[in-house]
Structure 1
């Protein structure tokens, strides 16, 4: 879509960076979200170098700090460099914690805060600013199905969103971080389904994308050094031989298509795995859980931005 702006979170490496390159090649003005100014500037320069005439800008969007998200929203709505109308958001940024329990800048459990709450705040704050025929794509994962469909990766453990956000209720065992990651990917799907329902009359399409296993991406950054080295060494073989696996470069082709290809025109509330529409888990279709997640997330964001602190026991949930 010419003369349009797309915001991509987690755009400094991996899937986000490859998608930024592809959309810049297609003429989009690309806002590349980052947590680190130096890495953000380097990623934007990488796109300019590879794509002559590319229109890109780096923007600080720390998904784990809701005030950072709010500042980015202000720039995208009312300030910053002149840019074409905003017509797409790619919610790609994510973390996977492997060493106990960590908290966000707002006192929430880090995985849930980064992978879901930050994106919830970014997207919902920009809904009224999105142009016609806009698209929102949230990067999810097959891990939301559980080990039977995720190569043994532990499945999600869904419960009240306020509990998911509370680091005091988080399991600190060795595998619990991966469970929280899978749970956050289920939250991504529930968010997409509720967003699609609420946007039905507004010509805003909301879909989830599962890029498949992508060995060698930044999600392994918190692994032990030996594990990271083995992960990098085995990445090419895994991408070539394991069903459902791939590379960030290959997966970015579909993700870019979901932003501007006619192939996905009129598609909303869908789960795309690889290059095709796919079925997601039964729980991801729960309208009640999707609504509860939306309302609880809104309350958690509002509480943090009001400076009230986490105090999660008293955070309201429900409609």
Structure 2
């Protein structure tokens, strides 16, 4: 039985994406890869009740731990039929307050939002079949031209993002910049991976869910900010604020991009508001793409025998 893997599927957009897939991918096993196993198991039960899909499971996955990611892929390889028809890298967060680090010593935002998904994807590549898809959830905040009110991204190098200098700048501005930069990294990764997989007939795309009220993203904010953001985002949804969508709408779009036969010709694109559009100028910067690729391999310690992609090609 082929599998669909979704990270961060226990709530919000990820949950709605899994729900949509459970209604359409009747003969696939759907794996909800979640850091919080309790909420992940609850999500599985809800989806089973709503759809009747029997082949849903929750597997533990902490993207802030290379060991956890490696174990996830080892467990997947042990399945009777370890074949992936869609990999959806959706999990991520904005981490406020004092700079925190992953178990491997990387800055938490970059380590979780980029390195975790990068490492997971490269380790799972040998199991992703021809005609399948890899999708990275990004965000409109990656593009300064969108004027989102969030600090714009600043890309220098992967290692500088993994091991940033401690700064006296305001905590919110720093956290926002790290988040928007990690979302730029998601698109840079999607584009260069698309190029490296040319000829293998595996689709690689980036997805922008828009502003979605009530998602898990808000839970990474301090309580006062979370309450304010939640109230404002619901008002934006009510009065038609541009780029604001329900979790159900964005989740359905994510599932459609990743799995629908209607969009199987889309490859190497940025999907926003349910359509193909241009991402930021920086996201097409080939120097940025190459640097991030090289540094991500070095930071994760990925070895050639762990993936089926030639890591030496630039």
TM-score, with length taken from structure 1: 0.89
Q: Does 1:161 pair with 2:158?
A: yes
Change (3 A) 1:164 1:125: same
Kindly report which structure 2 residues correspond to 1:100-249, keeping only aligned pairs within 5 A, or say none: 100-146=98-144, 148-169=145-166, 173-174=170-171, 175-240=173-238, 241-249=240-248
Alpha-carbon distance between aligned partners in 1 of 2:233 and 2:113, rounded to the nearest angstrom = 24
- Give the equivalent residue in structure 2 for 1:254: 253
Of 260-269 and 129-138, the range deviating more from structure 2 = 260-269
Shift of 1:157: 0.8
Of 114-123 and 286-295, the range deviating more from structure 2 = 286-295
Shift of 1:250: 0.5
SS state at 2:9 partner: coil
- Give the equivalent residue in structure 2 for 1:308: none
Q: Could you tell me whether the CA contact under 8 Å between 2:82 and 2:127 is conserved in 1? A: no
Alpha-carbon distance between aligned partners in 2 of 1:277 and 1:23, rounded to the nearest angstrom = 21
Alpha-carbon distance between aligned partners in 2 of 1:53 and 1:34, rounded to the nearest angstrom = 19
Alpha-carbon distance between aligned partners in 2 of 1:46 and 1:111, rounded to the nearest angstrom = 29
Shift of 1:153: 1.5
Shift of 1:169: 4.9
Alpha-carbon distance between aligned partners in 2 of 1:83 and 1:14, rounded to the nearest angstrom = 29
Shift of 1:152: 1.6
Alpha-carbon distance between aligned partners in 2 of 1:222 and 1:271, rounded to the nearest angstrom = 25
Shift of 1:185: 0.4
SS state at 2:59 partner: strand
Alpha-carbon distance between aligned partners in 1 of 2:221 and 2:210, rounded to the nearest angstrom = 19
SS state at 1:107 partner: coil
Alpha-carbon distance between aligned partners in 1 of 2:302 and 2:72, rounded to the nearest angstrom = 19
Q: Does 1:273 pair with 2:272?
A: yes
- Give the equivalent residue in structure 1 for 2:298: 299
Segments of 5+ residues of structure 1 without an aligned counterpart are 305-317
Q: Could you tell me whether the CA contact under 8 Å between 1:103 and 1:167 is conserved in 2? A: no
- Give the equivalent residue in structure 1 for 2:74: 74
Alpha-carbon distance between aligned partners in 1 of 2:256 and 2:216, rounded to the nearest angstrom = 23
Give the ranges of 4+ consecutive aligned residues of structure 1 lying more than 6 Å apart after TM superposition. Answer: none
Q: Could you tell me whether the CA contact under 8 Å between 2:47 and 2:53 is conserved in 1? A: no
RMSD: 2.0
Change (3 A) 1:285 1:72: same
Q: Could you tell me whether the CA contact under 8 Å between 1:100 and 1:177 is conserved in 2? A: no
Change (3 A) 1:303 1:127: closer
- Give the equivalent residue in structure 1 for 2:287: 288
The Cα offsets for residues 186-206 of structure 1, whole Å up to 9 and x where unpaired, read as: 000000011100100111110
Shift of 1:61: 1.0
Q: Could you tell me whether the CA contact under 8 Å between 1:22 and 1:256 is conserved in 2? A: yes
Q: Could you tell me whether the CA contact under 8 Å between 2:76 and 2:82 is conserved in 1? A: no
Counterpart of 2:12 (choices 11, 14, 25) is 14
Change (3 A) 1:68 1:136: same
Equivalences, count: 302
Change (3 A) 1:262 1:282: same
Change (3 A) 1:54 1:84: farther
